[in-house]
């Protein structure tokens, strides 16, 4: 797995995941929608930690700088 996510992309994903987590745990969002958003937030954090997004591969997107 080669990296295909840059620093800015990773930071934005982590911020979005933190906002979703905060909204869920303060019960502003709840129910099925809340659970779906928490799952997306977990995926955002996981892809940020490994610097790889599988959805970028078919489209040839790379947000990281050249090595």
User: How far apart (Å, rounded) are the C-alpha atoms in residues 61 and 27?
Assistant: 35
Average pLDDT over residues 8-14: 95
Question: For the whole model, what pTM was predicted?
Answer: 0.86
Question: How many CA within 13 A on the CB side of residue 11?
Answer: 4
Residues in the chain: 67
pLDDT higher at 39 or 4: 39
Contact 64/4 with Cβ under 8 angstroms?
A: yes
Give the per-residue pLDDT at 40: 96
pLDDT higher at 42 or 63: 42
Domains in the chain: boundaries: 7-50
Across 1-67, where does the E strand assignment appear?
A: none
Average pLDDT over residues 3-16: 93
Mapped onto helix, strand or coil, the DSSP state of residue 12 is helix
Give me 17's structure tokens: 């995941």
Give the per-residue pLDDT at 67: 57
Percent of the chain with pLDDT over 90: 72
């Amino acid at each position: 797995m080669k990296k295909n996510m840059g620093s800015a992309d990773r930071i934005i994903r982590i911020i979005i995941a933190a906002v979703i987590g905060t909204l869920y745990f303060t019960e502003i969002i709840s129910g099925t929608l809340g659970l779906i958003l928490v799952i997306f937030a977990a995926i955002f954090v996981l892809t940020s930690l490994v610097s790889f997004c599988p959805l970028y591969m078919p489209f040839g997107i790379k947000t990281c700088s050249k090595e």
